[in-house]
């Protein structure tokens, strides 16, 4: 995602529940950086959708600030898992070697090594080897949550406040049907650690290849969930079938050929829709795209191109 701007030039917006405004973000950043001996002047906001992701100007460090209300235990687990990945030599963005997370006014803050990126984005095929390596790892010494898309979908539906009740009911009924369909699925892959949201924007270039990042959704589950997520991003966001086919060839398995593909794809897409619907009140401009996606599902249009939110 392109940079949003310097913190000193950010537009002040009224914070939604759990959201940020300029002064709060600057204060949390300053105090967190001070706690670990970093300088926060002239920092730049890179992303502000789920968490605030900030690049420091004077140190090659990315600071990630969780929204108020995020559970400290979840962020602590993410840090522990990333550290474990580093110890086993897995290709991940490195954590900064400081005591973290740092907590400032109920915001959990983490610090990561900045990796400068070229102009060209990561391709799906470059996700294949890291994901295959992740799915082959022995169980980590970190207690990961069990992957549960249906539960996450229902949690998001219960928090939607800006869609018509008819749309919310459609989403809930659709979740009911997909949950029933899921009970009949026979998974083909062995359960283990998964990334939970592998996609082009959750990986970064390095001189030695590609590393994965953003471990907030790491969990224990079926690799099929990761693989169908890659397929959805290729299909829905304009990369094309060949882009995904190159990934499947490199990974060594095409999730589209598996009998449970359609159900998992629909569940994963529903989670993407409901997550964005829940967050639409503090993500300007996203509500119309959420409605467009829902209408596409109602028309049973699996080829509708989605806009990235």
Q: How far apart are CA 246 and CA 261, in angstroms?
A: 18
* Mean predicted confidence (pLDDT) in 118-135: 96
Confidence of residue 14 (pLDDT cuts 50, 70, 90): very low
- CATH architecture, domain defined by 124-298: Alpha-Beta Complex (3.90)
Is residue 11 scored above 70 in pLDDT? no
Q: Are 211 and 198 in contact (CB under 8 A)?
A: no
Is residue 148 scored above 60 in pLDDT? yes
- Angle at Cα 202 formed by Cα 86 and Cα 191, nearest 5°? 65
CATH topology of domain 5-113: Phosphorylase Kinase; domain 1 (3.30.200)
Residue 19 is predicted with a pLDDT of 60
Confidence of residue 7 (pLDDT cuts 50, 70, 90): low
| % pLDDT > 70, the chain | 94
Q: Determine which of 43-52, 112-121, 221-230, 286-295 has the lowest per-residue pLDDT on average.
A: 43-52
Q: How far apart are CA 42 and CA 59, in angstroms?
A: 11
Q: Distance from CA of residue 265 to its chain's centroid?
A: 17
Residue 20 is predicted with a pLDDT of 73
Q: Cis link prior to 101 (omega < 30° from 0)?
A: yes
Whether the model clears a pTM of 0.85, i.e. scores above it, the answer is yes
Domain boundaries, the chain: 5-113, 124-298
* Mean predicted confidence (pLDDT) in 109-125: 96
Residue 5 is predicted with a pLDDT of 54
């Amino acid at each position: 995602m392109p940079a949003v701007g310097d913190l000193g030039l950010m537009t002040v917006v009224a914070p939604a529940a759990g959201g940020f405004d300029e002064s709060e973000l600057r204060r949390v950043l300053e105090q967190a950086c001070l706690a670990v001996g970093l300088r926060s002047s002239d920092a730049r906001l890179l992303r502000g959708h789920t968490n605030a992701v900030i690049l420091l100007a004077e140190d090659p460090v990315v600071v990630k600030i969780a929204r108020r209300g995020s559970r400290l235990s979840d962020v602590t687990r993410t840090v522990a898992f990333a550290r474990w990945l580093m110890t086993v030599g897995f290709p991940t963005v490195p954590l900064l070697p400081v005591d973290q997370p740092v907590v400032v006014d109920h915001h959990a803050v983490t610090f990561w090594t900045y990796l400068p990126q070229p102009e060209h984005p990561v391709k799906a095929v470059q996700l294949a080897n890291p994901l295959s390596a992740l799915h082959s790892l022995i169980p980590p010494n970190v207690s990961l949550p069990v992957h549960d898309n249906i539960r996450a979908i229902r949690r998001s539906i219960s928090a939607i406040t800006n869609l018509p009740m008819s749309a919310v009911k459609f989403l809930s009924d659709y979740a009911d049907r997909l949950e029933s369909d899921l009970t009949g699925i026979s998974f083909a892959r062995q359960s283990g650690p998964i990334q939970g949201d592998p996609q082009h924007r959750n990986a970064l270039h390095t001189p030695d290849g590609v590393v994965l990042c953003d471990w907030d959704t790491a969990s224990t589950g079926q690799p099929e969930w990761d693989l169908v997520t890659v397929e959805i991003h290729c299909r829905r966001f304009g990369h094309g079938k060949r882009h995904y086919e190159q990934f499947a060839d490199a990974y060594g398995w095409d999730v589209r050929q598996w009998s449970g593909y359609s159900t998992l794809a629909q569940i994963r897409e529903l989670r993407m829709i409901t997550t964005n619907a829940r967050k639409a009140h503090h993500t300007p401009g996203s509500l119309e795209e959420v409605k467009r996606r829902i209408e596409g599902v109602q028309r049973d249009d699996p080829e509708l191109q989605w806009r990235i939110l």
